[in-house]
Amino acid sequence: MKRSFFDRLSGSVSTGEHLDSFDDEIQEVTIPERSPSPVRPEPVRRTVREDDLPSANEGQLPVDVYQTGSDIVIRAFVAGVRPDEISISIGRDMVEIEGSRMEREQVAGPDYFTRELFWGSFSRSILLPQEVDVESASANAKDGLLTLILPKLDKARQTKLKVKAG
């Protein structure tokens, strides 16, 4: 008995019934029941350290941190802050951004209808996922967006040393 096209393709063993064409084959397929909750990808989790939390009178600067092939990039909105009011400290595995956004005009509390903007000092400590080259780091502030570009250290790079006699 000749095996059907489907049997040859899938490598299955025929049950003994011979069907002439692939279109005439009908197979019963059991579909497992779905679980009530669909599987979702794990959300990106950020580890919150006590150092990351602002003090009672200090705001926390929200940031985006991502990587390219050769850099770690940090972006933060610093609208209303002059570049000379921002302090950035970079270590091989941590970045600290501090600054202050001062209210330029004083308005009495009862005169506000809505007050959502943050005024005062802010800071953020960011633990980096990889060591960076501190000397080659750069910072740019344009249109209220602070961008830090931190080149990654290439740990696989090796240097040959010559031994000098003498």
Q: Are residues 67 and 135 in the same domain?
A: yes
Return phi, psi of residue 44, to 5°.
Answer: -70, 125
What's the CATH code of the domain at 87?
2.60.40.790
Residues 64 and 94 in one domain: yes
Domain count along the chain: 2
Is 157 inside a domain boundary? no
Residue 134 lies inside a defined structural domain of this protein? yes
Does 79 map to a domain?
Answer: yes
User: How many Cβ atoms from other residues are within 10 Å of residue 164's Cβ?
Assistant: 5
In which element (H, E) is residue 71 found? strand 71-77
Mean pLDDT over 137-152 rounds to 93
Q: Are residues 21 and 103 in the same domain?
A: no
User: Per-residue confidence at 48, pLDDT binned at 50, 70, 90?
Assistant: very low
Q: Could you report the per-residue pLDDT of 25-35, keeping only the tens digit for each?
A: 555 556 566 55
What residues pair up with 44 in beta bridges, in sequence order?
A: none
Within this chain, do residues 71 and 137 fall inside the same structural domain, yes or no?
Answer: yes
Boundaries of domain holding 15? 1-31
Does some domain include residue 68?
A: yes
* Sign of the CA dihedral with 41 first, then 44, 50, and 56 last: negative
pLDDT surpassing 60 at residue 53: no
pLDDT at 42 over 60: no
Hey, CA dihedral for 68, 71, 77, 82, is it positive or negative? negative
In a domain, 121, yes or no: yes
Residue 27 lies in a domain: yes
Of all residues in the chain, what percent carry a pLDDT higher than 70? 63
